[in-house]
Amino acid sequence: MMILRKKQDGYHPQTKIQKRIHKLPTSELVSWSENALFVIGRDLTSWLKTNDKAFLTEVELGAEALYEIVQELKRRS
């Protein structure tokens, strides 16, 4: 699969979330990070109550988004 291959020159194309985050101003990124933290906590609590794996998928997506936001904030500072 082409998706799983690494580029020889070290270039990695941006994901959709990286492209979107790159366009946002810093103030919005902070708001997004606060929202991601809220969603992660809410979905973890929901998973504990219901044991539904769909909540863990949402936690994973939120954590990935938060990670990308933090990386972008680090690049900007």
In a domain, 1, yes or no: no
pLDDT at 13: 82
In a domain, 23, yes or no: yes
Give the dihedral sign, CA 43/44/46/51.
positive
In a domain, 39, yes or no: yes
Q: How many structural domains does the chain have?
A: 1
In a domain, 3, yes or no: no
Range of the domain at 33: 16-76
For 7-36, the pLDDT digits (tens) are: 566 677 888 989 999 999 999 999 999 999
In a domain, 72, yes or no: yes
Q: Is the pTM of this model over 0.75?
A: yes
In a domain, 32, yes or no: yes
Q: Say how far apart CA 63 and CA 22 lie, in whole Å.
A: 17
